[in-house]
Amino acid sequence: MALKERVLGLLRGPEASRIRFTAPTTTGPITINRATFATVASAIDAGKIGVTPFTPTKLAGAKYFQPAGPGAPPSGQLHVPPILGRLDESAVMHESTHAFFDLKKTAIEAAEEEAVCYIVSTLYNRMTGLTPARWTRTQTSAKSVVDALLHQYAVGVAGIPVVNAGAFRTLVIAVQLSPTYLIPDPDSPMSGTPAGLFGGFFGGPTSYTHDG
């Protein structure tokens, strides 16, 4: 199956349709649900977002880039590794959430955006039975948030569950301290600042670019 079709299959798959939560960010509540992933899938179909093969690095399993120049898709590019297993699939779900924020021009701090994306990818891991021993370090930091959400799903809580504010702030701090965001990756605008602990220092940005 071609890479683009594989990504579309994930975004329209059963796990994506089950993921739903509201995160209490400092700029207001952010809701993620099946419409999030359907929006990104439609943008890929329309050519607004491209899907490009990518070789994973130590700091990134997949990436989302804003347009790089003439001929690039108008919104951005999902840089996707060969999808060989569930961890690669969860990386696609993570980066697709970044793409959604870009499409919707969402106002959200970078570290909080990463935290939301990690909740998505860790929910995907749980839903597909990927053992925690194989999760990334920051996905492990999201475990308590995800387990609480899955409990609410299981007991039939009506509507969309809200992430506990304290647990969310703890996850945001874990993101800020992660080497992925503390250590700049010259190949990626999604590392170093602004999501790391020093994001915004010396007048730097505190959010990623979301221009639709």
Task: List the one residue out of 70, 60, 72, 131 whose CA is nearest residue 98.
Answer: 60
First to last CA, the chain: 29
In sequence order, which residues have a C-beta less than 8 Å from that of residue 73 and are 6 or more positions away?
Answer: 47, 48, 49, 50, 67
Which residue type sits at 143?
A: K
- Alpha carbon 135 to chain centroid, angstroms: 14
Alpha-carbon distance of 116 to 119, in angstroms, equals 5
Residue 63 pairs with which residues in a beta bridge?
79
- Average confidence (pLDDT) per 10 residues, the chain, 212 residues: 92 97 97 98 96 75 78 88 92 97 96 97 97 92 96 90 97 92 58 70 80 88
- 50: which 2 tokens? 């491209």
Which residue type sits at 78?
A: L
- 46: which 2 tokens? 């329309």
Torsion sign across C-alpha atoms 132, 133, 139, 143: positive
